[in-house]
Amino acid sequence: MWWQGLRQNLIAVPFRVRLTLLYTSLFSVALLVIGIGVHFAVAQALYAGVQSDLTSATQQVRAILNAVGLQSIRTPSGQLQLYLDRDFIQLFTNRNIGAQFFRPDGTLVSNTPNLEPYMLPLPPEALQLTSTDTNGITLVRDVNGVPVKSLITPVVLRDGQLLGFLQVSRPLDDVVDTLTLLQQILLGGGMIALIVTGLGAMYLSKRALRPIEQITSTAQGIVRAEDLGRRIPEPAQRDELHQLTVTINELLSRLERLFSTQQRFVADVSHELRTPLTAMQGNLEVLDRGASADPALLKEVIGDMRRETARLIRMVNDLLLLAQSETHIALRHEPVELDTLLLEVFRELRPLAGQVRLRIGAEDQILVYGDRDRIKQALLNLGVNALQYTPPGGLVVLGLERYEQFACLSVADTGVGISEAELAHIFDRFYRVDRSRSRHSGGAGLGLSIVKWVSEAHGGYVTVASEVGRGSTFAIYLPLPEPAVSAGAE
Question: pLDDT for 66-79, tens place per residue?
Answer: 887 776 555 566 55
- When comparing pLDDT for 322 and 87, which is higher? 87
DSSP 65: I
Q: What is the mean pLDDT of residues 426-434?
A: 66
150 in Cβ contact with 169 (< 8 Å) = yes
Residue type, 16: R
Mean pLDDT of all residues in the chain? 81
By three-state DSSP, how is residue 337 classified? strand
Record the pTM: 0.51
Tell me what percent of the residues of the chain surpass a pLDDT of 70. Answer: 84
**DSSP secondary structure letters along 133-169:** -TT-EEEEEEETTEEEEEEEEEEE-TTS-EEEEEEEE
Predicted pLDDT of residue 430: 61
**70 to 27, 61, 109, 225: CA distances (angstroms):** 63, 12, 13, 106
- With 70 as the cut, is the pLDDT of residue 429 above it? no
What is the C-alpha end-to-end distance of the chain, expressed in Å?
65
CATH class for domain 330-479? alpha beta
Kindly tell me if the per-residue pLDDT of 435 is higher than 70. Answer: no
Task: Please give the torsion angle defined by the CA atoms of residues 157, 160, 162 and 165, in that order, rounded to the nearest 10 degrees.
Answer: 60
Pair 461, 473: CB distance under 8 Å: no
- State how far the Cα of 63 lies from the Cα of 57, in Å rounded to an integer: 10
Q: Where in the chain is the domain with CATH 3.30.565.10?
A: 330-479
Please state whether beta strands 461-467 and 395-403 pair in parallel, antiparallel, or not at all (unpaired). Answer: unpaired
Most distant CA pair in the chain, distance: 173
Question: How is domain 6-178 classified at the CATH fold level?
Answer: Beta-Lactamase (3.30.450)
The per-residue pLDDT for range 360-382, each reduced to its tens digit, is: 998 889 999 998 988 988 898 89
pLDDT of residue 223: 73
DSSP string, 385-428: HHHHTS-TT-EEEEEEEEETTEEEEEEEE-SS---HHHHTTTTS
Specify the higher pLDDT residue, 17 or 433. 17
pLDDT digits (tens, 9 = 90+) for 327-364: 556 678 899 999 999 999 999 899 888 899 999 998 88
Band the pLDDT of 488: cuts 50, 70, 90.
Answer: very low
The phi, psi pair for 192, rounded to 5°, reads -65, -40
HSE-CB of 400 using CA atoms within 13 angstroms: 20
Q: What is the rounded distance in angstroms from the CA atom of residue 465 to the CA atom of residue 157?
A: 119
Can you tell me the distance from the alpha carbon of 78 to that of 72, in angstroms, rounded to the nearest whole number? 12
pLDDT of residue 111: 87
Q: Which of these, 193, 187, 195, lies nearest to 39 by C-alpha position?
A: 187
Q: Which amino acid is at 94?
A: N
DSSP-assigned beta bridge partners for residue 359: 397
Considering the chain, tell me which residue range(s) the CATH 1.10.287.130 domain(s) occupy: 240-322
Top mean-pLDDT range of 70-74, 163-167, 283-287? 163-167
pLDDT > 90 fraction of the chain, expressed in percent and rounded: 28
φ, ψ for residue 421 (rounded to 5)?
A: -65, -30
Q: Is the pLDDT of residue 472 over 80?
A: yes
Q: Tell me which architecture the domain covering 240-322 has in CATH.
A: Orthogonal Bundle (1.10)
